Structure 1
């Protein structure tokens, strides 16, 4: 037989199983055989498989395993019964395939060069009742744009979908499926198999993919968990192919759809190109995530989280930073084109006890659709941690030594049990306890001021939090000083530190 098909089955709605198996029986291409692997399913599901399979006239066998081993193990077991088939595919038990599914994929694979190891096509989405919910021109354009990507972008987004056929030889070279990332095993497999060849996209609808099914993985698993595991798999595979950047740019955003494209492009257009961009969205509801998702660059790693605050987003993103250095960027700001080039060269010159280098920032005022140029805010040279504490300044851009970030446990999320506003100031203080800083006297960061800036709308809370931080740090560092807080027009701008015992 030319094609081997695996149908893995765990607990499933009986009606879906009947529809799936019937769609396989209806295939116009008949040179295939089927391995149905029951992965410790409940009795209702098992009975449905045996009853539904009675319609099959193609060669098939049922492997009824009573112990649940997971999808990766089940797929590999099924393919082990199909060793004589040069082409392979698998189907989920709640999906339906058009009669020309195999015919079109096989014909396409037969006509492509041997370097093509996988062909894939468009698919429609159906709901629990089997009704097409994606039959619109807008969805067609979105899916076509998403799926027509070069194979290198598989490390950034799983764009291949549910309609595919691959060569057995490539499957074996990739080592089959693996359990290391059980809820992202398909994306993990695509990244590994595409190390052994190229892909071909067939712009034709060949199947129906069910969404919101009762037992569907995407229904049972929170979207944040799916995304994080998918990107953990990406990081793991990047390590395998030695895709290790010098710098990881850690961009965080929350409801910044107006500005996020500018921020991302300012990174992608850097003169220094050896970087990854970890774009962490903190639960935006305004379309920010969609803009990140549609970016087509293999250096981009998109993380889409539930809203928990910036410090959590930064710490979540830090897990995915492979670079020696980490540069922090807000989603409404942007970088000078030479920021990474200049800062990396400067940091490379510094001894290991320098944990952070920073430069000057240029302010821009967003007034309606216009950007009005503001002043340049210079950095400062610091003598010690108390100098950092008393000046109450943070500086942009910030390029961290990743090992320094790791040594202090990342960004602080809470102050006295409350979510922290000044995660950047806390980071400066934590680093200042253990590391020296280096200032680059050049404007390399562009900071946008607009009506939603935290520093503009939370002045009272910020002043209160600064005082808490100062008192806590002085106590933590030995209680050697008494602070005097200096205000200017209602804003806390400086702390004078008077040694204890002096009148």
Structure 2
């Protein structure tokens, strides 16, 4: 089992991510961290890790996000792989429950679970998201239809999923399609190689980070990418997507984009409010002797 953590400028949340990964109740696993030539305190945090389960590698030059994801998986040694972005959290039983599915069901190429959506400070935004209509053992075609009809990504982000390393290699890994849909593109190519299983438990937390790639991508661009991706699935004769699926999905896409934009706007608002509160606390804490009493979360 390998937990792969591609990290870039990850100092703010990396410690919490690593602690959650190391806290698994599954014994046989490694953690591979790829520092993508970060200039913040990412390297300092990684230098402080002495756990033998953690392997740290560093890129000499900054590469693209998808290349860094692929490097992380390529450096892994486990038969099963879980990619965890450096600001997300995994529950203690996540690896064990997902590995049990892959052990018991050789026909399953991809397993996923529900995730909580949290903000920059770990506070809940929306609980138990994902897997609408695709809980349990599902044939690949049904899941692809659900992707088109949902107007979004019902399988979930990388932290929600686990896959077999050999299938990842055979389907070509993460591709340079769009940063917004990179994982969904991979999920579909994995589904071309096997079935899906949705675990109806919340096993991870996905951070709606105010400075993330998705947050920095315009709503119009995200919507255009989602619609184009669904149209591509509908045109692919391997998948049983109907015209009704496409039309329903297009209507849903607009609604889901509004919700997604709202989530990132809420996270950004909370972040700005918290930063302002901390600045006020620091100003109040600087007395005549210059000692600050501010506390940081």
Aligned partner (choices 9, 27, 30) of residue 7 of structure 2: 9
Larger-Rg structure:
1
Write the distance in 2 (CA, Å) between the matches of 1:244 and 1:229: 21
Kindly indicate whether residue 164 of structure 2 is the aligned counterpart of residue 167 of structure 1.
Answer: yes
Write the distance in 1 (CA, Å) between the matches of 2:22 and 2:259: 39
Kindly indicate whether residue 225 of structure 2 is the aligned counterpart of residue 229 of structure 1.
Answer: yes
Write the distance in 2 (CA, Å) between the matches of 1:192 and 1:30: 30
Aligned partner (choices 38, 42, 45) of residue 35 of structure 2: 38
Kindly indicate whether residue 277 of structure 2 is the aligned counterpart of residue 277 of structure 1.
Answer: no
Write the distance in 1 (CA, Å) between the matches of 2:33 and 2:156: 21
Change (3 A) 1:146 1:225: farther
Per the alignment, residue 177 of structure 1 pairs with 174
Change (3 A) 1:34 1:128: same
Give the superposition deviation at 1:174. 1.2
Per the alignment, residue 74 of structure 2 pairs with 80
Write the distance in 2 (CA, Å) between the matches of 1:18 and 1:222: 29
Write the distance in 2 (CA, Å) between the matches of 1:229 and 1:303: 14
Per the alignment, residue 208 of structure 1 pairs with 205
Give the superposition deviation at 1:71. 2.3
Give the superposition deviation at 1:118. 0.9
- 1:16-415 to structure 2, matched below 5 A, reads 16-51=13-48, 53-54=49-50, 56-58=51-53, 60-82=54-76, 84-112=77-105, 114-135=106-127, 140=128, 143=130, 145=132, 147-148=134-135, 150-153=142-145, 155-156=147-148, 157-162=152-157, 163-211=160-208, 213-236=209-232, 241=237, 268=244, 276-277=246-247, 289-290=254-255
Change (3 A) 1:147 1:42: farther
Change (3 A) 1:42 1:238: farther
**More helix, by proportion:** 2
SS at match of 1:8: strand
| Higher deviation after alignment, 218-227 or 97-106 | 218-227
Equivalent pair of 1:192/1:237 in contact (CA under 8 Å): no
Per the alignment, residue 284 of structure 1 pairs with none
The TM-score with structure 2 as length reference comes to 0.73
Give the superposition deviation at 1:165. 0.9
Write the distance in 2 (CA, Å) between the matches of 1:147 and 1:191: 14
SS at match of 1:179: coil
Gapped runs of 5+ residues in structure 1?
249-266, 269-274, 282-286, 294-301, 307-503
Equivalent pair of 1:29/1:103 in contact (CA under 8 Å): yes
Per the alignment, residue 254 of structure 1 pairs with none
Aligned-residue Cα RMSD (Å) equals: 3.2
Give the superposition deviation at 1:242. 6.0
Write the distance in 1 (CA, Å) between the matches of 2:225 and 2:71: 23
The TM-score with structure 1 as length reference comes to 0.45
Give the superposition deviation at 1:215. 2.8
Give the superposition deviation at 1:230. 3.6
Equivalent pair of 2:36/2:68 in contact (CA under 8 Å): yes
Write the distance in 1 (CA, Å) between the matches of 2:191 and 2:125: 30
Query: How many positions carry a matched residue from both structures?
Result: 251
Deviation per CA, 1:266-299: give whole Å up to 9, x if none.
Answer: x73xxxxxx9538656xxxxx9944xx6xxxxxx
**More strand, by proportion:** 1
SS at match of 1:69: coil
Change (3 A) 1:230 1:289: closer
Write the distance in 2 (CA, Å) between the matches of 1:242 and 1:119: 21
Write the distance in 2 (CA, Å) between the matches of 1:154 and 1:280: 12
Give the superposition deviation at 1:236. 4.5
